[in-house]
Amino acid sequence: MKARVHITLKNGVLDPQGKAIQHALSALGFDGVDDVRQGKYIELDLQETNPAKAEAAVEEMCKKLLSNTVIENYTIEIE
Amino acid sequence: MKARVHITLKNGVLDPQGKAIQHALSALGFDGVDDVRQGKYIELDLQETNPAKAEAAVEEMCKKLLSNTVIENYTIEIE
Amino acid sequence: MKTAVIVFPASNCDRDMIVALEKITGHKPHIIWHQDEEIPPVDLIALPGGFSFGDYLRCGAMAARSPVTKKVIEHADRGGNVIGICNGFQILTETGLLPGALMRNESLKFVCKDAALRVENSDTPFTNAYSEGQVITVPVAHHDGNYFADDETLKAIEGEGRVAFRYVDDAGQMTKASNPNGSRNNIAGIINRRKNILGMMPHPERLIDDVQGGTDGLGFFQSMINAIN
Amino acid sequence: MTPKIKWNNNVNITPALVKEHGLSDDEYALCLKILGRTPTLTELGIFSVMWSEHCSYKSSKLHLKTLPTKAPWVIHGPGENAGVIDIGDNQAIIFKMESHNHPSYIEPYQGAATGVGGILRDVFTMGARPIANMNALRFGAPDHPKTRHLLSGVVEGIGGYGNCVGVPTVGGETNFHSSYNGNILVNAMNVGLADQDKIFLSAAAGIGNPVIYVGSKTGRDGIHGATMASTEFTEDTEEKRPTVQVGDPFTEKLLIEACLELMSTDMVVAIQDMGAAGLTSSSVEMASGGGVGFAFNLDMVPQREEGMTPYEMMLSESQERMLIVLKPGREAEAKEIFDRWDLDFAVIGVITDTGNLTLTFKGEIVADIPTQPLADNSPEYDRPWVKTAPKADLKPADVAAPEDMKQALLKMIGSPNLCSRDWIWQQYDTQVMADTIQKPGGDAAVVRIHGTNKAVAITTDCTPRYCHADPFEGGKQAVAETWRNLTAVGATPLAITDCLNFGNPERPEIMGQFVGCIEGMREACIALDYPVVSGNVSLYNETNGTGIHPTPAIGGVGLFKDSSKMVTIAPKAEGEILILIGETRGHLGASLYLDVMEGREEGRPPPVNLALEKKNGDFVRVQINEDRISACHDISDGGLYVALAEMVMASEIGMDITIDNGNTPLHAYAFGEDQGRYILSVSPEYRDEVLRNARADGVTAQVIGKTTGASLTLTAADPISMSELIGTHQNWMPDYMSID
Ligand SMILES: Nc1ncnc2c1ncn2[C@@H]1O[C@H](COP(=O)(O)OP(=O)(O)O)[C@@H](O)[C@H]1O
Ligand SMILES: [Mg+2]
């Protein structure tokens, strides 16, 4: 099965990339963008066929490697 | 409204990050991960309240700045 | 002083660190590959700069989870000295040995230039050869050196005198223009509470010989010799 | 599950298909003759890439052969992956420059990054540890809508790759000109260090020896237009794939370490990187070079994507791959090294005595080509050319004096082609490996030979406006300028590499530019005893019939036996005496002054008198090496005043200058680009000795002022303060780049 992981910065953590994008957008004439946040999107192809087990495994992966829990949150979707 | 943009590498484009993540996962003992692809996830807060207009604007932003259309695809969700 | 340098795939300042340690201690450091299970007993472990694992995912993330890093943590827990320069600093924050995180530079660009640093605390094993408030010039070369910690953590670090170096201008003033990467409070390097671990973005190992344009990095290594011998 | 392969190698080879593969009728006829039959599709692809301009040098070979390539210190000249020169103590410097122009225009970050990766492989494949990167860049006019984006991406890509592999990028050059609006130039150079008894070549040998593939897996990257054309034959209806190659500097770093480790053993017979045309050109070169055949089982090639065809595997330009011939029975030992570095390792074939490249795929032979004729009989053209018409001379009197000399100088140093390149090189790690002893900003970069007192000096130069006005003089000047820049830091120039960037060679005017530049280069190389040891040609840099300015970028390498002799452009103290070496006639033809102040591109370029060039340079080098000089700067773009301003900015010490311009109008004297000139800064105690030595050598030398204070005071100009000077010089590029 496939897992999709979104990794986003926690509230209050500064996001230089998001800020730079917002700035560049306004310089390009895109008005009305109040905020931009950039995160990561990771797709995993798993051999596991049991959704609950897959989710548990990906949760472990997020904790152990994919996210830095000091600054990041993650969400997992299994399909 | 909020726009969520996913930017992923086109099919066939080498993804060194994904490859390295897959490798690191297996070194950490996570078996059964066949493939990993890494992309970007961007959230935008827009002043626009009309979904169609918002989508059109974000589409333009993707083309002009957010994605590198030579090697990346993007998808947009408006909510 | 016995030392060890840990080498991860795509570490690339390992040789510079080895050369500096050998020159200053008179002994060749042990060179430890990231898959090695053991680190011989040493006074100091150095995590060198570079792009361990390509800096993919997050700088230092994969190195922080390498087998050998467990041994580094054990060494630190026993009170052993550890330094992390540049990528080494990123690894130390990823392991949790040092607080905070190193984010992408505010400019989003890699930055390589000489940076003036003010020594904020000279009462550490890594800075005792400098005097407090002294301004030294040391090169930085990084893409992700923008030090972040939340307000509470930052307050603790500052309150406990754990900022080792800060980016300043030539006159020693902390200014926005002298901050090469957007670090909070212009932080260039920090130590842990026990004062046996230091992480810093600038590269003292690149400045130990006159032909390199200066020797401001020497004091860094001299400090450790003072502390350990 | 792997999809069922519907690959059909025996498609009908139609004239249209041949044409799509870029083969002319004559070329295809030769291909039929070599094979004695109709090619398979895979074979057609192989002929097509091997005989492309890029791989075969068919338009340029004839002329390249005229370049001098020999000197007692040359160990390997052109023909190997890179040039090799002797620097004593059993050590060698290995270097080459290469273009990645087209890919960088399409995708600036990845194009430039993979350009760096490619040139690194050319150097380490010979057994060298890369020690320095250089980059010669040309962009369109600053006001062209694409320029900012291209500059930003290219610089980021060069840094992104070089910084990660841990090789310092120590210098280069950057020009802006509208002729590059549709065709930017990204030329990357690498310099490596090897032991002379550990130099590896690509000629394969030893019937039965295993052929090994190492590095990244093969994907469908960079397969040329030809593939697009062939999709209809593969019955493969996938989305059209981008042909952009993505670089993986992490893998490259591992590959460098693993290959150098392998080469430190005695297992390697031959080794070759997979560059342009990937597996095809590497295997053909290795086999034909050794007069042997290769038999590959393509099923063994590590593949990144499913359902790859032999055609795709042979033409793929996936990065970070090498082909190695091992001694027999050493596979397991070698594999251990690559396993430790987490790199793919596959035995894909053996050496045969057939002389053929024989490819098997799924049990079927899909190609069987004699490699010798394929490599040796590659087409060679004597393309028609016409000599570039000489430009009229431009007299100083034909150019108006500026209203205000001070403002003129500020305008010059704040112009796109003369302003500081800080914004660029701050994105490069210029110091990793801790041996950089002269960083960007001076005349040449200097990198210490690790653990010794020796050092190499490196520079890249070319003045395309001169080449455009007069290819012969321009070619001469490009070589001479590198020689001068190496001399200016005190090094002994040894040899050059080149990257010859031109428009469409099928146009006689362009071919004339090419021939002219080569002739000029040749004269300069001979006169300066400064051979060409490697190089690269990039043609067809042309859009809608408008070619780029002819741009023969030259990379020069020089040596210090004692690196403590090195000088920079920064005077060391106040009170030093400034001495101008060489003759100043006030040549404003094809000058930057004419361009910046009047927007004109006219006139003959300044001629290079090679005998004078050599005399002046040798004199300067001796003075430096005998410790009489505290700073030295050659005079190039922008002339004398610009060079003085650069010295002031580098040292942050002012100058007081008094010019005796005789009959020459002052602005021509100040901004003219006469060749073969230097400014020396000497402490007063050496002043007379230097002047005396100059007189004895017949070198023109005159005192023009001294270092003093904190501003630059020039004849007929208001004093310019340090902050005004530095601000003007440094601000243009960051300001330009901050406009999104
Ligand atoms: N793309 C670049 N990368 C690194 N350094 C550069 C680049 N472009 C220019 N430089 C540096 O800027 C300085 C000035 O360049 P240039 O004007 O071409 O020098 P010169 O006139 O002496 O040949 C040199 O030190 C050169 O190495
Ligand atoms: Mg110069």
**How far does the centroid of ligand 2 lie from the alpha carbon of residue C194, in Å?**
52
pLDDT, tens digit (0-9, with 9 covering 90-100), for D33-47: 999 999 999 999 999
Residue D70 has pLDDT above 60, yes or no: yes
> What angle (nearest 5°) sits at the alpha carbon of residue D53, between those of residues D50 and D57?
90
Is residue D49 classed as helix, strand or coil in its secondary structure?
A: helix
Residue of C nearest to A40 (CA): C57
Q: What is the Cα–Cα distance from C40 to D88, expressed in whole angstroms? A: 39
Give which of C142, C97, C129, C156 is closest to C228, Cα–Cα: C129
Distance from CA of D301 to the nearest CA of C (A): 24
Contact residues, B window 39-78, toward A, CB-based 8 Å cutoff:
39-48, 57, 60-61, 64-66
Length of chain B: 79
Starting at the edge strand found earlier in the chain, the sheet holding D169-176 runs D74-76, D83-86, D91-99, D185-195, D129-139, D169-176
Residue of C nearest to D170 (CA): C112
Residue ranges in D36-189 assigned as alpha helix (H): 41-50, 53-56, 61-64, 101-106, 108-124, 147-165
CB neighbour list of residue D727: distance below 8 Å, 6 or more residues apart: none
- For residue A3, give the H/E element and its range: strand A2-9
**Ligand 1 atom 14 nearest Cα:** D441
Task: State the burial class of residue D563 (Cβ atoms within 10 Å of its Cβ: 0-12, 13-18, 19+).
Answer: buried
Average pLDDT value for chain D: 94
pLDDT, tens digit (0-9, with 9 covering 90-100), for D247-267: 999 999 999 999 999 999 999
Q: Could you give the percent of chain D with pLDDT greater than 70? A: 96
Residue D355 has pLDDT above 60, yes or no: yes
pLDDT band at residue D740 using 50, 70 and 90 as cut-offs: low
End-to-end CA distance of chain A: 6
- Quick check: CB of D115 below 6 Å from ligand 1? no
Residue B41: list chain A partners with CB under 8 A. 6-8, 38-41
Q: What is the Cα–Cα distance from B28 to C62, expressed in whole angstroms? A: 10
Total number of domains constituting chain A: 1
Q: Which two tokens stand for residue D37?
A: 């039959």
Region D53-80: mean pLDDT is 95
pLDDT, tens digit (0-9, with 9 covering 90-100), for D286-337: 999 999 999 999 999 999 988 899 999 999 999 999 999 999 999 999 999 9
Q: Could A8 and B48 be called an inter-chain contact, meaning their C-beta atoms sit closer than 8 Å? A: no
Residue of A nearest to B38 (CA): A42
Residue D408 has pLDDT above 50, yes or no: yes
Q: Taking the CB of residue D460, how many other CB atoms lie within 10 A of it? A: 29
- pLDDT score of D228: 39
User: Which member of D21, D76, D100, D667 is catalytic?
Assistant: D100
Distance from CA of C120 to the nearest CA of B (A): 37
Q: Which amino acid is at D535?
A: G
**Which ligand is closest to the CA of D139, given by its number?**
1
Give which of C59, C69, C67, C61 is closest to C4, Cα–Cα: C69
- By 3-state DSSP, what share of chain C in percent is helix, strand and coil, each rounded to 5? 30, 25, 45
Residue D155 has pLDDT above 70, yes or no: yes
Q: Which amino acid is at D410?
A: L
- pLDDT score of D8: 62
- Quick check: CB of D42 below 6 Å from ligand 1? no
Average pLDDT value for chain A: 94
- Quick check: CB of D440 below 6 Å from ligand 1? yes
Domain ranges of chain C: 3-228
Residues of chain C where predicted confidence (pLDDT) is lower than 70: none
> Half-sphere exposure (CA, 13 Å, Cβ side) for B75?
7
Residues, beta carbon < 5 Å, ion ligand 2: D 443, 485, 634, 636
Starting at the edge strand found earlier in the chain, the sheet holding D532-538 runs D436-438, D445-448, D455-461, D551-560, D492-501, D532-538
Residue range C3-228, CATH number: 3.40.50.880
Residue D245: list chain B partners with CB under 8 A. 14
**CA distances, A23 to each of A6, A19, B48 (Å):** 23, 6, 18
Distance from CA of C55 to the nearest CA of B (A): 9
What atom of ligand 1 comes closest to residue D637's alpha carbon?
A: 21
> What angle (nearest 5°) sits at the alpha carbon of residue D585, between those of residues D582 and D589?
120
- pLDDT score of D225: 43
D225: phi > 0 → left, psi -120 to 50 → alpha, else beta; which? alpha
- pLDDT score of D388: 97
Q: Is D102 a catalytic residue?
A: no
Q: Taking the CB of residue D569, how many other CB atoms lie within 10 A of it? A: 23
Task: Please report the ipTM that was assigned to this predicted complex.
Answer: 0.94
Q: What is the Cα–Cα distance from D526 to D548, expressed in whole angstroms? A: 27
Neighbours of chain D (3+ CB pairs under 8 A): A, B, C
Q: Taking the CB of residue D545, how many other CB atoms lie within 10 A of it? A: 8
Residue D95 · residue D189 · CB < 8 Å: yes
Token pair 């992309």 is found at B39
State phi, psi for D226 to the nearest 5 degrees. -50, -40
Residue of C nearest to D433 (CA): C16
Q: Taking the CB of residue D302, how many other CB atoms lie within 10 A of it? A: 18
- pLDDT score of D243: 67
Q: Which two tokens stand for residue D291?
A: 């007069």
**Ligand 1 atom 9 nearest Cα:** D173
Residue of D nearest to A28 (CA): D740
Residue D103 · residue D275 · CB < 8 Å: no
Residue D240 has pLDDT above 70, yes or no: no
Q: Is A33 on the interface with D (CB under 8 A)?
A: no
Q: What is the Cα–Cα distance from D590 to D604, expressed in whole angstroms? A: 6
Region D605-609: mean pLDDT is 98
Residue C146: list chain A partners with CB under 8 A. 14, 16
Q: Could A21 and B66 be called an inter-chain contact, meaning their C-beta atoms sit closer than 8 Å? A: yes
Q: Identify which of C9, C16, C49 has the shortest CB distance to residue D254.
A: C9
- pLDDT score of D223: 77
Residue D485 · residue D443 · CB < 8 Å: yes
Residue D172 has pLDDT above 70, yes or no: yes
Q: Which of A28-32, C213-217, D591-595 tops mean pLDDT?
A: D591-595
Q: Candidates D116, D173, D730: which one to mutate for ligand 1, based on the most atoms within 8 Å of Cβ?
A: D173
User: Which residues span the domain enclosing B7?
Assistant: 2-78
Residue C62: list chain A partners with CB under 8 A. 65
DSSP states along D248-308: -HHHHHHHHHHHHHHHTTT-EEEEEE--TTHHHHHHHHHHHHHT-EEEEEGGGS-BSSTT-
Q: Is B69 on the interface with D (CB under 8 A)?
A: no
pLDDT band at residue D386 using 50, 70 and 90 as cut-offs: very high
- pLDDT score of D229: 36
Q: What is the Cα–Cα distance from B24 to A66, expressed in whole angstroms? A: 10
Q: Give strand pairing partners of C156.
A: none
Residue D253: list chain C partners with CB under 8 A. 9-10, 12, 51, 54
Residue D484 has pLDDT above 80, yes or no: yes
Task: State the burial class of residue D663 (Cβ atoms within 10 Å of its Cβ: 0-12, 13-18, 19+).
Answer: exposed
Distance from CA of A13 to the nearest CA of D (A): 25
Residue D399 · residue D594 · CB < 8 Å: yes
- Quick check: CB of D651 below 6 Å from ligand 1? no
pLDDT band at residue D275 using 50, 70 and 90 as cut-offs: confident
- pLDDT score of D556: 98
Q: Is A27 on the interface with B (CB under 8 A)?
A: no
- pLDDT score of D1: 30
Residue D3 has pLDDT above 60, yes or no: no
Query: Mutate which of A15, A23, A38 to disrupt the B interface (most B C-beta within 10 Å)?
Result: A38
Residue D521 · residue D527 · CB < 8 Å: no
Distance from CA of A29 to the nearest CA of D (A): 10
**CA distances, C166 to each of C201, D156, D240 (Å):** 10, 27, 52
Residue D399 has pLDDT above 90, yes or no: yes
Residue B20: list chain C partners with CB under 8 A. 53-54, 56-57, 62
Residue D187 · residue D550 · CB < 8 Å: no
Q: Could B70 and D106 be called an inter-chain contact, meaning their C-beta atoms sit closer than 8 Å? A: yes
User: At A44, which CATH number?
Assistant: 3.30.1280.10
- pLDDT score of D224: 65
Q: What is the Cα–Cα distance from C13 to C206, expressed in whole angstroms? A: 9
